[in-house]
Structure 1
Amino acid sequence: MLWSLVSILPLLSLAAAKDIQPTEECPLLGPTYSSDFDLTETNAFSEAKKDFPGVVKKIFEDEIVDPKVSSFTIDVFSTFTNKSIYSYSHQATEPSLNESFPEGGIGDKTIIRVGSVSKLFTVYAILAQAGGLEVFDHSVTKYLPELAQYPPKEKDNTLESFAWENITIGALATHQAGTGQFANPSIACFTPEKDNCSTSEFLREMLEEKVPSQPVFQSPLYSDGGFGVLGRVLEKMTGKNYNDAIQIVLSKPLGLKDTGSIIPKGDDVDAIIIPGGPPTSAWGFDNQLTAPSGGIYSNHADLRTLGLSILQSKLLTPSETRAWMKPRGHTSSLVTTIGAPWEINRLTLPVAPGSKHYRVSDLYTKGGGQPGYTAIFALSPDHGIGFSVLVAGPTAGGDRWPIRAAVGETFVAAAEHAAKENAAKKFSGVFGDGKSNMTLTVEKDHVGLGMENWYVDGVEWRANITQPALSLPKGKDLIVRLYPTGLETTEDDGSTIRQYRAVPEITPLNPRPAIEGGKGLFDDRCITWFSTAFYDLETGIIDEFHLKVRNGELVAVISKAAEKVMKRKNGGKTGA
């Protein structure tokens, strides 16, 4: 069914197209242009917003999503504007589950259940409460000594019992503890306070009745049961029950208004309420033992606040945020890796509208689903944007995936193209100081800022960026492109000084591996990650440049190695 979706989206998943190839150059992983600009002021994003209703219409027409029974809302947000930059809602025209909808229609503040997106709330709260990522290395028995006290069924039989002292918080958060699903149906009860639903009974079952699904840190295997344990860890850390812990650690400092693991109260709740209970609906099923894995209620407004707090490091330091948002385990897919608890999609983004060349960009997501409700939460650090998708109805379980594809393939790609558009207008041009000059370009099928030339006192210096400085072999060309590193500082006049890294490559390059249209198993071409920041005894680090940006425009390029400050001499120059 998804293949029919691919054929109608304006911005495709490139793996399906045989004539699509990686960029000629091998960019550094991460943003290829600055994301510090207003996406809504670009043609690329304006076109995406204009086209998106047609994308949804086509999904309906192709019967990928049934508009009669499916209700969904979409929100796209930006760190530059700190607000929503696009929203879309569809309410089922012939609802089949006796849903009740808010009087004014569904939208930004409409509450639904977000399923396993709850896992993200759980891990974020643990990290915020612990004050950083060191907690990932702690044994779970540090917080739950009960797991070390209960005698295992067969202490020395690794097929039958866990050595909980070897299971860390990080192993649980990345689905690599071997804890599998919940141990016994009795813990999935409606009234956790009754017999067989207590925390102590839950931990006893996890210890005595669970068997390992795999060795610790073997590989990611999805584990709802492990997040039940993490919920108990958060309770021990805060001295509060799970719902109160989320309120104290996340909702209060961030200003979340409608997020929690207890059913929203009141007669006029802005929510899609599906009656009936499991297996039709999860509404009101508030088991606090399973809540850390899939029991949160939330809406776009709170998810946007949560996403912005992560991208802007509101509760963690920037370095801790970057460490958290990294892969911690691989799957058997070439384009999906696992974090804590991120589901990281390695996107192949077209580098310009209509281009047949792509680059890799990581999208950090978390999906969730419960009876009647599903959700997708996604962050793109490369572009400073995020989005959420909330779905309700009898087909919600399947509908979230094509809707996610439509949103991601439209708006993440649009953000990539908008960054190129902005760079062409604000960063390309000629820069010089009278004796030295540099030309920066932005080209359609290429990424980053192209260093077309760089003359220092009349001598071409680009070859000096390579280690060691070289004379080009016959028939070979040198390309140099600049990529932002994320390091920057602010000057007294409000200008920012941003560090960019110059990456040299000799073309034509070696073939890509067979999986990318080349040959062989190994990629001997994309090696730029270990070809940067070398130190030259005479000039220092020659591939480091400082770009001075004022009011969003590049006004000067600074080379510490050449001791040159080259100021803008003309307007933009681009082939894009």
Structure 2
Amino acid sequence: MMLLLTALGIVCLPFVSTKVTDQSLQICPIQAHQCPAPTALASENVFLDAIKQLEDAIRANLTESPYNGTTFSLGMFSTSDDGLVYEFHHTDPGVANSHKGTTKADADSIYRLASITKILTLYLWLIKDGDRRWNDPITDFIPQLAASDDTEQDYITPDWSEITINDMAMYLAGISRDYGLNDVALTDYVTSLMPKLTSKTSVNNPANGINISASDDPKCGYLTAKEVYQKCDPKQYLQGVKTLAASFPSGYTPLYSNQDYALIGLALENLTGATLDDLFNSSLVQPLGLRETTFKQPSKITKNSVIPNGDEQVSQWNNDFGPINAAAGAFSTTNDLAAIGKSILNSTLVPKATTRRWFSVTSHLESLDQSVGRGWEIYRQKVGGHTVDLFTKAGYWGDYTSVLFLIPSYNFGFSLLTASVNETGKVKDKLSNVLTNMFLPVLEECAKNQARRNFAGHYTSSTSNTTVRIEVDEWPALKVTEYIVNDIDFMATVFGQFDASNGVDMRLVPNHLYKGKNVGFTGVYQALAPPTPTAQFYGKCPSWLDVDDFTYASVPLGHMVFEVDDDGRAERLELKAVRERLDRTRENASKLCISQRVFMDQIAMF
């Protein structure tokens, strides 16, 4: 079924009238947050309208596949709001009629997270030891790997001495995805899904030229034919990992791997002398007050457990992964994931500098809008004329699929936890796309609306002819339209040094250098230019080359700090370079009703 969502939100906003920009000219923003992240989203009409449209659309389709066959919990959160800013839960018949666990999903329902665990494992490392050792080789932490000898094999094994913790965190270790799990030398769950093998083509068959001893087969790390996970103990696991063939040399190309994170987990245990369970409880669960989050299978099924058809074996609820728990073992809830997500965005448990490094792209995929980070699956979307990075992590095991989105540009995130017997993953995939398409423009509009209210206006000095005028227009960031210091027009003189036959554009972007009631911005100035021809790729976005190019007594001319009141509204502006403080004038801003399209036309939702 295809549902077409069309909505045109009409809102009246305080607006400082500006000249309409010539659409034949353009700017190229730097890669940064363009406005301060929006706060108090529940007070923003455009956000509330989007929520209503979303919920109406979901409810209208709950009787259709895949929604009618999936139990799911959606939770949105913002660092400026307590709890969740929105939640929606649906219970399918398989859970509603279950004789074990919950029969009605809510924000405290426990789902298997699967690979979202990778983010939690990295988070634990950052909490306990930071990222200063991440360029050390894995053999410093797991010396057993140093004893590997590929001369014992007739294939190339990883060079563990050159693989670092950072390589593994970035999926750049070059080691294969799993040990044991999809090995077709075993007559197990994987081979049972394939067409029946004849004696001539069966594995380990000398008559077919596959004369490999069964002693070389994985001893653990796989699902049996009865879908029981045969976990490894740490010794077995390390012995098995040493026999794996290398896929690529380290640092070459991103390669998704559960092995990376299992080894990071073992390394962290060796580094700290504590088990991951203990580290998880003392460093994450207790500080954040998490109620239903565990690093591995919970010790018992509770009234909050989501178990389709009440079958913990077939749903694979009860699988304990051993060392692979560090890659895929965790269980959690919508409420707890919101607390974890907000703590990451807020740098609650680690220094802000550590968080900034964590929220960075480390390599790219073939698709230009997809990148990889340390644990993150990063999607890049154009919103309001600039690029927004979506830091995500998805997980899948058995009947459970999940995804966590963190969007630092807006201090916003959401989680989507699902369980389904026959529709595994479909709701997660569909709703993730819908939520992104609907709410990125909404969050951008909320940020710009608040920036307009809080910072736009005319700032003047009572002692000199110094004046700055700031507007918020259709392009990213705050626009400086007037910058005069003691009768000198900086826009025409200093910044006019650019080849600016079409004019100079100056924008202010948040610099995150100040605290409390001081909000700092950095200036980005560039010459307005016509669109770059498609064939011209070199040098098409040079704005980052000239940030803070002009200074006065060592301080950038674009370095400005707003002094705000308790509501976040600017009262004064300090020009750091010329050491002047300007007052915001109380002009009567005209009210302009803006017809703002807040949702994509024809969102393919179902």
State the TM-score bracket (shorter-chain normalisation).
0.7 to 0.9
Identity %: 24
- Find the aligned partners of 1:172 and 1:256 in 2 and give their Cα distance: 28
> Which of 307, 315, 323 in structure 1 is aligned with 2:341?
307
187, 209, 223: which one pairs with 2:220? 187
Q: State the partner residue of 1:380.
A: 407
Cα distance change on mapping 1:564 and 1:135 into 2, 3 Å = same
Q: Quick one: structure 1 residues 338 and 464, their matched pair in 2 at CA, closer, same or farther if it must change by over 3 Å? A: farther
Instruction: Show the counterpart of 1:515.
Output: none
Structure 2 residue 315 is matched with structure 1 residue 273: no
Cα distance in 2, alignment partners of residues 568 and 446 from structure 1: 23
Q: Give the number of the structure whose alpha-carbon radius of gyration is greater.
A: 2
1:455 counterpart (484, 497, 501): 484
Pick aligned residue for 1:164 from 160, 166, 169: 160
How much has 1:519 moved relative to structure 2?
Answer: 0.9
What are the within-5 Å matches in structure 2 for residues 432-511 of structure 1?
432-434=460-462, 435-443=465-473, 445-464=474-493, 466=495, 469=497, 472-473=500-501, 476-490=502-516, 496-507=517-528, 509-511=529-531
Q: CA deviation at 1:387?
A: 1.0
Distance of 1:346 and 1:267 partners within structure 2:
39
1:25-424 counterparts in 2 under 5 A? Answer: 25-35=27-37, 37-57=39-59, 65-92=65-92, 94-95=93-94, 99=98, 105-130=104-129, 132-154=130-152, 159-185=155-181, 186-188=219-221, 197-208=232-243, 210-266=244-300, 268-274=302-308, 275-276=310-311, 280-349=314-383, 351=384, 358-394=385-421, 395-424=423-452
CA contact (8 A) 1:150 1:204 kept: no
- 1:15 corresponds in structure 2 to none
Given that 2:71 and 2:95 are in contact with CA atoms closer than 8 Å, whether structure 1 keeps it comes out as no
The CA distance in 1 between the partners of 2:263 and 2:175, in whole Å, is 9
Shift of 1:540: 4.1
**Distance (Å, rounded) in 2 between the aligned partners of 1:574 and 1:460:** 29
SS at match of 1:501: strand
Please identify, of 457-466 and 374-383, the stretch whose mean Cα deviation from structure 2 is larger: 457-466
AA in 2 matched with 1:315: L
Q: Which amino acid aligns with 2:361?
A: P
Is the Cα–Cα contact under 8 Å of residues 118 and 296 in structure 1 kept in the other structure? yes
- CA distance in 2: counterparts of 1:195 and 1:430, whole angstroms: 68
CA 1:461 to 1:231, structure 2 compared with 1: closer, same or farther past 3 Å? same
Q: CA RMSD in A?
A: 2.9
**In 2, are the aligned partners of 1:558 and 1:565 still within 8 Å (CA)?**
yes
Q: 1:287 to 1:9 in 2, by over 3 A?
A: farther
Between the aligned partners of 1:289 and 1:540, the Cα distance in structure 2 is 52
Deviations 1:351-402 (A, max 9, x none): 2xxxxxx321111111111110111111111111111110111313232111
Residue 236 of structure 1: SS of its match in structure 2? helix
**Aligned counterparts of 2:28 and 2:475: Cα–Cα separation in 1:** 10
Instruction: Give the SS at the match of 2:307.
Output: coil
CA distance in 1, matches of 2:25, 2:108: 41
- TM-score, with length taken from structure 2: 0.81
Displacement after TM superposition at 1:342 (Å): 0.7
**C-alpha contact (below 8 Å) 1:129/1:237 kept by paired residues:** no
d(CA) in 2 for partners of 1:72, 1:371: 15
For 1:530, which of 536, 541, 545 is the aligned residue?
Answer: 545
> Which residue type is aligned with residue 106 of structure 1?
A
Write out per-residue CA displacement over residues 436-492 of structure 1, whole angstroms, 9 at most, x where no aligned residue.
22221112x2121111222333342223453x735843xx222222111111133xx
Aligned residues of 1:380 and 1:412 also touching (Cα < 8 A): no
- Equivalents in 1 of 2:25, 2:236: separation in Å? 56
SS at structure 2 position matched to 1:50: helix
- Distance across 1 between alignment mates of 2:415 and 2:326: 19
In 1: Cα distance, 2:7 partner to 2:377 partner: 24
Give me the TM-score of the superposition, normalised by structure 1.
Answer: 0.85
CA contact (8 A) 1:342 1:365 kept: yes
Return the alpha-carbon distance in structure 1 between the equivalents of residues 436 and 361 of structure 2.
20
Judging changes above 3 Å, is the alpha-carbon distance between structure 1 residues 195 and 288 closer, same or farther for their aligned structure 2 residues? closer
The one-letter code matched in structure 1 to 2:242 is L
Cα separation, partners in 2 of 1:85 and 1:539, compared to 1, 3 Å: same
Contact 1:9 1:55 in 2 (8 A): no
Answer whether contact 2:458 2:469 (CA < 8 A) is retained.
Answer: yes
Q: 1:276 and 1:336 mapped to 2: Cα distance?
A: 37
CA displacement, residues 5-37 of structure 1 (integer Å, 9 cap, x when unaligned): 7x64769xxxxxxxxx99932222222111263
Once the two structures are TM-superposed, the CA of residue 256 in structure 1 deviates from its matched residue by: 1.9
Q: Secondary structure at the match of 1:310?
A: helix
CA contact 1:33–1:448 (8 Å) conserved in 2: yes
CA contact 1:546–1:557 (8 Å) conserved in 2: yes
- Cα distance, 1:249 vs structure 2: 2.8
Q: Is the 8 Å Cα contact of residues 261 and 286 (structure 1) preserved in structure 2?
A: no
Following the alignment from structure 1 to structure 2, what is the Cα–Cα distance between the partners of residues 427 and 331? 38
Q: Deviations over 1:69-98 (max 9, x none)?
A: 111111111111242111111222x43896
Q: Counterparts of 2:585 and 2:109 in 1: how far apart (Å)?
A: 52
Flag structure 2 segments of 5+ consecutive residues without an equivalent.
Answer: 9-22, 182-218, 595-606
CA gap 1:439/1:226 in 2 versus in 1, 3 angstroms:
same
Report the secondary structure of 1:137's partner residue.
coil
Question: Counterparts of 1:465 and 1:201 in 2: how far apart (Å)?
Answer: 68
Per-residue CA shift, 1:260-290, capped at 9, x if unaligned?
1343345643121134456x41201112222
State whether residues 140 and 233 of structure 1, in contact with CA within 8 Å, keep that contact through their aligned partners in structure 2: yes
Q: Secondary structure at the match of 1:364?
A: strand
Equivalent-residue separation in structure 1 for 2:590 and 2:95 (angstroms) = 57
Alpha-carbon separation, structure 1, partners of 2:179 and 2:553: 64
2:215 — aligned with what?
none
Task: State the one-letter code of the partner of 1:147.
Answer: L
SS of structure 1 residue aligned to 2:268? helix
CA, structure 1 residues 428+101, in 2 after alignment: closer, same or farther (shift >3 Å)? farther
- Within 5 Å, give how 1:7-26 maps onto structure 2: 8=5, 24-26=26-28
Q: Rate the CA distance shift 1:284–1:465 in 2: closer, same or farther, 3 A.
A: farther
Aligned-partner Cα distance in 1 for 2:230–2:461: 79
Q: Once the 2 structures are TM-superposed, how far is the Cα of residue 408 of structure 1 from its aligned partner? A: 2.4
Closer, same or farther: CA 463–479 of 1 in aligned 2, 3 Å: same
Question: 1:140/1:23 Cα in 2 relative to 1: closer, same or farther (>3 Å)?
Answer: farther
- Partners of 2:96 and 2:86 lie apart in 1 by 29
Tell me the distance in 1 between the aligned counterparts of 2:230 and 2:392.
37
SS of equivalent to 1:565:
strand
Contact 1:441-1:574 within 8 A present in 2 as well: no
**Map of 2:559 onto structure 1:** 544
How far apart are 1:188 and its partner, in Å?
2.4
Range moving further from structure 2, 50-59 or 119-128: 50-59
Q: Is the 8 A contact 1:231 1:289 kept in 2?
A: yes
CA distance, structure 2, for counterparts of residue 427 and residue 46 of structure 1: 23
**Structure 2 Cα separation of the partners of residues 465 and 386 of structure 1:** 41
| Equivalent residue number for residue 16 of structure 1 | none
**Whole-Å Cα distance in 2 between the matches of residues 53 and 297 of structure 1?**
26
Residue of structure 2 equivalent to 1:354: none
